[in-house]
Amino acid sequence: MRSLALDSSNNIYIENNSLFFTNDGAEVAQNIRCRLLTYKGEWFLSRQTGVPYFEEILTKPANLARVESILKTTILQTGGVKRLISFSFDYDSTARGLTVNSSIETIYDTIEESQVKLNV
């Protein structure tokens, strides 16, 4: 598969009036980032798509075991992920921020690193 490449701000990457594409392991990592940045109910065609940030993650008090489970499941259910090598997250309930770090092995036998920062 091929997808349009996104820049670090999650905008379509265009350089010299040309579109760029991503594929294989880099595409899997980009898809993880997109899935983790999608709030549940955000997409009008499927209100169940997305991570339940407001419902289960950005709550006080947060159930950190449940937060970890949701985030890991989201990563592992992304197409092209073979296994999760490492995972960590930093949750700041006061600032309502979350940083997710992961390392995955893809079906393309590549290792991809990902960091997703979310501030509400």
pLDDT tens by residue, 11-55:
899 999 999 998 899 999 999 999 999 999 998 998 999 999 999
pLDDT range class, residue 82, cuts 50, 70, 90? very high
Domain count, the chain: 1
Residue 93 has pLDDT above 80, yes or no: no
> Could you tell me the residue range of the domain that residue 112 belongs to?
2-119
User: What is the reported pTM?
Assistant: 0.89
Handedness of CA 39, 41, 45, 50 (dihedral sign): positive
58: nearest Cα among 95, 21, 89: 95
Which CATH number goes with the domain that contains 16? 3.10.450.40
